[in-house]
Chains A and B, each alone.
Chain A
C-alpha cells in the first residue's frame, strides 16, 4: 500500500517520542564526546566507587543514597565513550520519562514538547563541571518513580488522571505545533549552548588532564591556545612553563608570552586554597621533590576525597620514598574499585620489586639530620636545595634560574649560574645572557669576573638597540623586537617593579 507524502508526518507522529529520544541521545552523546569531553573526564577523576560495605555505609551516611548511585554510574566514565553514552542515555530518558508522565497526566500527546525542557535544562547544567551529576541521576529516578506510581494507579483503574488540555482536532495543525516547538527548542538549545559554553574552562581542564597524563606537547598546544588570546591565568602559566621545560625551551622561550604573574606563573605558593591543592603536586613530582608532592597530593585528597588520581599518586609517592606500608593502604582502597584494581595490583607488585616506573626521587639517601623543613610559600630555597643535593637535576636548575629571573633577583641569578656547568647546554641560553648583561652593567668589573661567564658581543649590540628604542619610547617597535627578552620583562612586565632586587 502506497502512502501519500502527507501521510509520512502523520505516521511519524506515532513514533515522535522515539525520534526525539534518539535525536536527543545522539546530540548529547556527540557533545560529551566532543566539546564537553572534559566534563566526563573531570567527573570520573573526582569520584570513586568502591565495592565494599564500609564504602556503602560511609557514603550513604555522609552524602546519601543518591550519591552512592551516582558514584556507581560515574565509575563507568573511566571509558569516556561509555560515560558519554550513559550521560546521553540518562538525559534522553529524562525526556522520555517526562513525556510519558505528561501522557499519564493529560492522557494526550505532548504537542508543545514541554517534556524536552527538563532534559535540556539538566544538559545545560552539566556543561559546567561544578554542577553535580547527582541531579541528573536524581531527575531520572524521580521521573521513573512518578511514572511507575501513575502507571500502577491507572492500571489499578482507581482513577483517570485526565487534566483538561487544549488539543487541536486537526492532525496537520498538531503536526505543525510539534514541528514548531521542536524547531524552537533546537534553535534555542544551539544558541544557549554556544553562548554559555566555557571555552576557558575546557582549555584549563584539558590542560590539567594532559599534564597529569604527562602529554606535554598537548599541554603546550592548549596553553598556547589560551595565552594567544591575550589572557592570563596562573594554572595555564604554571603548566605552560612546565611544558616549556619538557620541550627543552624554558631558557629560550620563557618570555614568549608576558609573565605578568611573576614567580606565581611557575608554582603555587601554599596558601591553603582547596582548589589549588589539586595542582601543586605535579611540579614537585616532576622536580623529584617527593615529600612536597606527597604533601600537596594528601591535602588534595583531604579536600576532594579519596579519588583514584589522589590514591594512585599517594601510593606511588610513598613507594618511591620507601614507605611501602603507607602505600599499601592506598593500594588496598583502590583494589576495591572496578577499574583501578589492576593499577593497584601493579603498584603492589612494584612495592615488592624494584621498579623504574615509580616517580623520580631527587632526594634519595639524603639524611634528614639535622632536620630540614620545606619552604612552602617560596620555592626558591627548595630549588636551591635540589640543585645542591641532586646536581644532575636539570629541571631544578632551570626552575631556579627562571625563579630568580622572574623575581628580579639578577644578582642571585648570576651567582647561581655556576650550576649550569653540570649540564651540557650548547651555549649560554639567550635569556640567561640578557640577565647576565644586566648584572654586568650593575657591578664593578672584578665583581662580574667572579661569575666566570662572558656576555657575547651580539647580546651587547642587541641591548644597545633595546636601550635606544626604550629611550625614544618607541614601545610598539620595542615590544615587537624585544617583547620576549628579559630586559623587556624587567622593565615593563615584572609585578615586582622595574628594579633589580638584591635582597
Chain B
C-alpha cells in the first residue's frame, strides 16, 4: 500500500512537472507582433468577457504565452501546440485587476533550438462590463429548406452555450426573430413557422402563442421591436421571398414583395396601424423604437411592382411619432434618404442614450446579410450626420447589430472570416464621441471552433440575464395560437 502511494506521488509529480508552465526566456526577439487567430490584437475587452483563447499562427515546435498587465506577468501558458487556452480563473482575476488598463499577450515560439520572442500584443480591459448573455439562432446559412435549428444563449463570461429552444423538441418547425424588451428575458418573443405556427410571447411570467396574422391582413407579423415600456410591439408584416443569383459570388437575395407596419398591444391583444405606415405605395419594414418610446423608426422603399427589378429597390430611413395615450401614429418624416445616393438602409437600432442610430447600408434591398457590400453606419440623431463605422467594417458583410443595455458595447454579425457564415463580433463604443473600438470575435473554448462550424449565428441579441424558462416556452409553443382581438 505504501508503495502504491509512492508510485502515485511520483507519477503525479512527473505529470505536474510535465505540465508546468516553466518560463522560457527568448534567445532572440522580433520587432513585429505574432499573428494570432482570432485577431485579438488592439481590441478593448469588456471586464467580464470569457477567456479569449487563440492560436499562434507562427511556425514553431513549442509555444509560450505570458499574459499580464503593467510589469506583472499574471500567467504563463506553454504548449507544444500553437493553441493557447487561458485558464478561466486566472483570466477572471486579471480582468478584475487590470480594469481600465492595457494587458499584454507576450508570445515566444521555439523555432529550431531557440526561443524567439515577439513584440507584445496589447489589448485593453474596459471598465464597463457587457450584458452577460448573447442569444442567437444557429442554423445553416442555406436557402429554403431547414432541418435542425435552435435558439441558444451563450454566457459571455464563460464558454458555455445552452439551448433556449431547439426545433427537434417541436416537430422541426422553424423558429426565428427572438426579441427582448430592454434586454430582459422577462419580456420576450419569438416566431414559430410550421404546422403549429404562431408568435410566442413571454410576459409577466406567462408564455402564450398568438396568431399575429389576423383576418384582414395579408401577411403575418415578421420583424419585431418592443416599445421600451414593454407593452407595445411594433411589427412589420412582410411577404418575403427568396431569389437565387444565376452567376457571380452572391448566392441569395431575400426581398420583400410587400410590407407594412402595425403595432400590437400586448395588454389588449389588439393590433392597430395607420395609413402612413400601412400603404400600397410603399413597403415599410424593420421598425425600431427610440429609447423614450415616442418615435418609431423604420425603413421604407417604393412598393414592389411586377416590373420592378430587385436591385432597384432601395430603402430610406423614416421616423413617425407615436402618441401612446391615443395609440396614434403621426407626423411622418424622412431621416436619411439613402436612395438618393444609390444606397439602401436596413436594421436601424438606436443607442440606449438616444443619441445615435446604427444601421446597415447596402447597394439595394434590405436583407443585408446576403450583401457583401453591407456596412454599419452611424447616424447622429441630433445633427443628422451619417458616417460609415470604418473602425468596425470589413470587406465582407457587416450587418445585424444590437446595442448592449449600457450602450458601451454592441454586437454585430459579420461574414469577414469566410464570406458565408455570420459570426458575432463585439466592439466597444464611446457614447460621448460616437467612436467604436476594433471589433473582436466571440471567444470560444476551442479557438479553431469557427473553422469547422457550419452553422451561422443569426440575430445576435444581448440580454442582461439568462433565459431560464425553457420548459415554459416549449409548453407555450405546443399551445393553440390565440387570435387577436379586432
User: Which residues does A use to contact B, with CB under 8 Å?
Assistant: 52-54, 62, 272, 274, 277, 289, 291-292, 294-295, 298-299, 301-303, 305-306, 321-323, 325-326, 328-330, 332-333, 336, 363, 366-374, 376, 382, 385, 389
- Is B452 a contact partner of A299 (Cβ separation < 8 A)? no
User: Top 9 A-B pairs ranked by shortest CB distance?
Assistant: A368-B248, A363-B247, A373-B243, A325-B418, A366-B247, A371-B311, A326-B420, A372-B246, A374-B246
Quote the shortest CB–CB distance from A370 to chain B (angstroms). Answer: 6
- The answer to the question of B461 belonging to the interface, with a C-beta cut-off of 8 Å to chain A, is no
- Is B246 a contact partner of A325 (Cβ separation < 8 A)? no
A274-B144 Cα distance, complex, nearest whole Å: 11
- Is B246 a contact partner of A299 (Cβ separation < 8 A)? no
- Is A323 a contact partner of B249 (Cβ separation < 8 A)? yes
Q: Contacts A298-B142, A336-B452 given; 5 further ones with Cβ under 8 A? A: A291-B247, A295-B143, A329-B418, A371-B250, A373-B243
- The answer to the question of B5 belonging to the interface, with a C-beta cut-off of 8 Å to chain A, is no
- Is A329 a contact partner of B421 (Cβ separation < 8 A)? yes
- The answer to the question of B309 belonging to the interface, with a C-beta cut-off of 8 Å to chain A, is yes
- Is A371 a contact partner of B145 (Cβ separation < 8 A)? no
- Is B147 a contact partner of A368 (Cβ separation < 8 A)? no
- The answer to the question of B310 belonging to the interface, with a C-beta cut-off of 8 Å to chain A, is yes
A321-B250 Cα distance, complex, nearest whole Å: 10
- Is B244 a contact partner of A292 (Cβ separation < 8 A)? yes
- Is A291 a contact partner of B145 (Cβ separation < 8 A)? no
Q: Which residue of B lies closest to A299 (CB)?
A: B145
- Is B144 a contact partner of A333 (Cβ separation < 8 A)? no
Query: Given the complex, which residues of B lie within 8 Å of A385, measured CB to CB?
Result: 246
- The answer to the question of B10 belonging to the interface, with a C-beta cut-off of 8 Å to chain A, is no
User: Which residues does B use to contact A, with CB under 8 Å?
Assistant: 140, 142-148, 168, 243-251, 253, 309-311, 417-421, 446, 449, 451-454
Contacts A302-B145, A329-B418, A332-B451; is A368 near B140 (CB within 8 Å)?
A: no
A62-B149 Cα distance, complex, nearest whole Å: 11
Quote the shortest CB–CB distance from A165 to chain B (angstroms). Answer: 45
Quote the shortest CB–CB distance from B54 to chain A (angstroms). Answer: 17
Q: Which residue of B lies closest to A362 (CB)?
A: B247
Q: Which residue of B lies closest to A300 (CB)?
A: B145
Query: Given the complex, which residues of B lie within 8 Å of A329, measured CB to CB?
Result: 418, 420-421, 451-454
A333-B421 Cα distance, complex, nearest whole Å: 14
A333-B142 Cα distance, complex, nearest whole Å: 17
Q: Which residue of B lies closest to A306 (CB)?
A: B454
Query: Given the complex, which residues of A lie within 8 Å of B253, measured CB to CB?
Result: 371, 373
Q: Which residue of A lies closest to B250 (CB)?
A: A368
Other-chain residue from A301, A325, A374, A382 in contact with B245 (beta carbon distance below 8 A): A374
A58-B249 Cα distance, complex, nearest whole Å: 31
Contacts A62-B148, A272-B144; is A295 near B251 (CB within 8 Å)?
A: yes
- Is B247 a contact partner of A372 (Cβ separation < 8 A)? yes
A302-B146 Cα distance, complex, nearest whole Å: 6
Query: Given the complex, which residues of B lie within 8 Å of A363, measured CB to CB?
Result: 246-247
Q: Which residue of A lies closest to B141 (CB)?
A: A298
- Is B449 a contact partner of A373 (Cβ separation < 8 A)? no
A433-B328 Cα distance, complex, nearest whole Å: 70
Query: Given the complex, which residues of A lie within 8 Å of B310, measured CB to CB?
Result: 371, 373
Contacts A294-B251, A306-B454; is A374 near B147 (CB within 8 Å)?
A: no
Q: Which residue of B lies closest to A314 (CB)?
A: B454
- Is A274 a contact partner of B145 (Cβ separation < 8 A)? yes
Other-chain residue from A299, A369, A373 in contact with B144 (beta carbon distance below 8 A): A299
Query: Given the complex, which residues of A lie within 8 Å of B452, measured CB to CB?
Result: 52, 54, 329, 332-333, 336
A374-B421 Cα distance, complex, nearest whole Å: 22
A294-B140 Cα distance, complex, nearest whole Å: 14
Most buried by A among B309, B418, B419: B418
Q: Which residue of A lies closest to B420 (CB)?
A: A326
A326-B396 Cα distance, complex, nearest whole Å: 13
- Is A298 a contact partner of B140 (Cβ separation < 8 A)? yes
Q: List 26 A-B contacts (CB under 8 A).
A: A52-B452, A54-B446, A54-B453, A62-B148, A272-B145, A274-B145, A291-B245, A292-B244, A298-B140, A299-B143, A299-B144, A302-B140, A303-B145, A306-B454, A322-B249, A325-B419, A326-B420, A329-B452, A332-B451, A333-B454, A368-B250, A370-B311, A371-B310, A372-B245, A373-B310, A374-B243
Q: Which residue of B lies closest to A369 (CB)?
A: B311
- Is B417 a contact partner of A371 (Cβ separation < 8 A)? no
A52-B146 Cα distance, complex, nearest whole Å: 24
Q: Which residue of A lies closest to B168 (CB)?
A: A62
Quote the shortest CB–CB distance from A61 to chain B (angstroms). Answer: 9
Query: Given the complex, which residues of B lie within 8 Å of A367, measured CB to CB?
Result: 247-248
- Is A382 a contact partner of B246 (Cβ separation < 8 A)? yes
Query: Given the complex, which residues of B lie within 8 Å of A321, measured CB to CB?
Result: 249
Quote the shortest CB–CB distance from B374 to chain A (angstroms). Answer: 15
Q: Which residue of B lies closest to A373 (CB)?
A: B243
Query: Given the complex, which residues of A lie within 8 Å of B250, measured CB to CB?
Result: 368, 371
Query: Given the complex, which residues of B lie within 8 Å of A332, measured CB to CB?
Result: 451-452
Query: Given the complex, which residues of A lie within 8 Å of B143, measured CB to CB?
Result: 295, 298-299, 302
Quote the shortest CB–CB distance from B72 to chain A (angstroms). Answer: 34
Q: Which residue of A lies closest to B444 (CB)?
A: A54
Quote the shortest CB–CB distance from B48 to chain A (angstroms). Answer: 25
Query: Given the complex, which residues of B lie within 8 Å of A301, measured CB to CB?
Result: 140, 142
Query: Given the complex, which residues of A lie within 8 Å of B421, measured CB to CB?
Result: 329
Query: Given the complex, which residues of A lie within 8 Å of B251, measured CB to CB?
Result: 291, 294-295
- Is B247 a contact partner of A323 (Cβ separation < 8 A)? no
Q: Which residue of A lies closest to B364 (CB)?
A: A371
Query: Given the complex, which residues of B lie within 8 Å of A295, measured CB to CB?
Result: 143, 244, 251
- Is A376 a contact partner of B244 (Cβ separation < 8 A)? yes
Other-chain residue from B246, B418, B449 in contact with A368 (beta carbon distance below 8 A): B246
Query: Given the complex, which residues of A lie within 8 Å of B248, measured CB to CB?
Result: 291, 366-368
- Is B168 a contact partner of A328 (Cβ separation < 8 A)? no
Quote the shortest CB–CB distance from B485 to chain A (angstroms). Answer: 34
Contacts A54-B449, A299-B144, A373-B310; is A291 near B454 (CB within 8 Å)?
A: no
Query: Given the complex, which residues of B lie within 8 Å of A328, measured CB to CB?
Result: 418, 451
A328-B421 Cα distance, complex, nearest whole Å: 12
Q: Which residue of B lies closest to A389 (CB)?
A: B247
Contacts A54-B449, A295-B143; is A373 near B246 (CB within 8 Å)?
A: yes
Q: Which residue of A lies closest to B448 (CB)?
A: A332
- Is A302 a contact partner of B147 (Cβ separation < 8 A)? yes
